Structure 1
Amino acid sequence: MNPIIEVKNVSKAFGGLQVINNCSIEVAKGSITGMIGPNGAGKSTLFNIIAGTLPEDSGQILMDGEDITHDTPDQLFHKGLLRTFQIAHEFSHMTALENLMMVPPDQEGENLFSTWLKPSLVREQDAEVRRKALEVLDFINLSHVKNELAGNLSGGQKKLLELGRTMMTDARVVLLDEVAAGVNRTLLGDLVSNIERLNRELGYTFLVIEHDMDMIARLCDPVIVLAQGQVMMQGTIEQVRNNPEVVEAYFGNAL
């Protein structure tokens, strides 16, 4: 399959600590690719470099063949590359519905002159954004909390809401950072099902950092094992689980 994300020989050091060391990975278009490894392996650092929130020291990032190495997060957002966070970043004093309606860029209502000179256009666009937001809430099974302040939602509901925000724009690649953290098993099942649906029905490509091996096993193929800032191996979850070096060095009996 053609890669949609290519990381080529990327390195990153903090002071004298080499966190990412000449690392290269590819994420196939339409895949759900997992990235696992011990704490300190460099997973979050590499994620942040791909997401444009951290500059690399050397190397290159490509998206669909286009160099995005120095793109900012907002530029990447407009190109369809989005990320979620281990700790959800909701607008806590806005409702779940309002959180989704904030996402689409270039809304006419954000322009003061449009609110004066084009009120009908503003109302029409707001109605369309609201309609889409309600559809997204229905998709992620959060319609029952649409008028609840986002800050009052459970951890799992906030993760679902973050996933819903990716549906309010033309997402192509979504970076999921520890999406299972702090989520109860019931809501985690909903979250996994929604990721699968977004991949299957809307063609989203996912790159997933996760410690929950059951979730990785259900969702991800291939799985990249990162260690000391480099790729230790890549393969199916079965190949990872049956690799003695991976099991002994990083997982013990956890797999």
Structure 2
Amino acid sequence: MSSMIEVKHVEKSFGHLKVINDCSFDIEKGSITGMIGPNGAGKSTIFNIIAGTIPLDSGQILLDGEDVSSLTANQLFNQGLLRTFQIAHEFSQMTALENLMMVPPNQLGENIFNTWLKPKQVMAQELEVRQKAQEVIQYIGLDHVKNELAGNLSGGQKKLLELGRTMMTDAKVVLLDEVAAGVNRTLLKDLTDNILRMNRELGITFLVIEHDMDMIAKLCDPVIVLAQGSVMVEGAIEDIRNNQKVVEAYFGNDAA
């Protein structure tokens, strides 16, 4: 297997506080890689650096072999790297189906002049996008609420919708931020099953930051443990759970 993402000697400080310290790891193509660590370990910071939300101070990020260290989130989106958020970011006054239709970039209808000069092309493209959205919303199991305002969906349904939005593009890799947060157990199973299907059937690579260890155990191999801004250990979840250094990092030196 080759690497989809390579994080090389990345460092990041905020003022005098160094949050990421010589951090290096690879995300293999086709994997579902988990990232865990105690509070303050730097998980969110390295996640946001990879996603292009905040700049790194030094080091390098490669996406599918290409240096993307200086690219913004919008530029990374066009390169096939997408992310979800711990709190879903839906267009609350649009339907679930319309939320999906908003995702594909560079739609002809976004330019008002095209609606006058190229109405047939605009309509044809919109039909294609709608058909794709119909397929995606059925795939993720939200067809029954496709005409419901997204703001009225439950927390779990909004997370599913965010996952569906990643399918409206040619995503190579998806970063999942606390996808289990605020989701009931039934919809959490739907989320987990959809991630596994997208990985298996569509070949999408995932990096998952998550506190729900049962979800990490079901989804992720390998698992990266971050502590004090760098990688402590990496491996299968069974080995991680039995690693004394990991136990101490989470619970202190007095942990049994």
Q: Tell me if both proteins adopt one fold, taking TM over 0.5 as the criterion.
A: yes
1:118 deviation in Å? 1.0
Structure 1: how far apart are the matches of 2:92 and 2:175? Answer: 22
Q: After TM superposition, give the deviation of residue 114 of structure 1 in Å.
A: 1.1
- Residue 23 (structure 2) pairs with residue 23 (structure 1): yes
* Distance in 1 separating the partners of 2:63 and 2:12: 20
1: CA distance, partners of 2:193 / 2:207: 16
Question: What is the CA-CA distance between 1:111 and the residue it aligns to?
Answer: 1.4
**What is the match of residue 246 of structure 2?**
246
Q: Say how many residue pairs are matched.
A: 255
The answer (yes or no) to whether the contact 2:227–2:249 under 8 Å persists in 1 is no
TM-score by length of 1: 0.98
Deviation at 1:116, TM superposition (A): 0.4
* 1:134 corresponding residue in structure 2: 134
C-alpha RMSD of the superposition = 1.4
Aligned to 1:180: 180
Q: Aligned partners of 2:204, 2:219: CA distance in 1, in Å?
A: 13
Structure 1: gaps (5+ residues): none
What is the Cα deviation at residue 249 of structure 1?
2.5
TM-score of the aligned structures, taking structure 2 as reference length? 0.97
SS at match of 1:136: helix
**Aligned equivalents of 1:80 and 1:16: distance in 2?**
34
Corresponding residue of 1:81: 81
Q: Per-residue deviation at 1:248?
A: 2.7
Once the two structures are TM-superposed, the CA of residue 251 in structure 1 deviates from its matched residue by 4.8
Q: Could you tell me how far apart the structure 1 residues matched to 2:166 and 2:118 are? A: 28
Percent same amino acid among aligned pairs?
Answer: 76
Q: What is residue 150 of structure 1 aligned with on the other side? A: 150
Counterparts of 1:112 and 1:139, CA distance in 2: 32
Q: State the SS of the aligned residue for 1:131.
A: helix
1:6 aligns with 2:10: no
CA distance in structure 2 between the aligned counterparts of 1:66 and 1:246, rounded to whole angstroms: 32
- How much has 1:109 moved relative to structure 2? 0.6
**Equivalent runs, 1:198-213 vs 2, <5 Å:** 198-213=198-213
One-letter amino acid of the counterpart of residue 86, structure 2: Q
Could you tell me how far apart the structure 1 residues matched to 2:167 and 2:245 are? 39
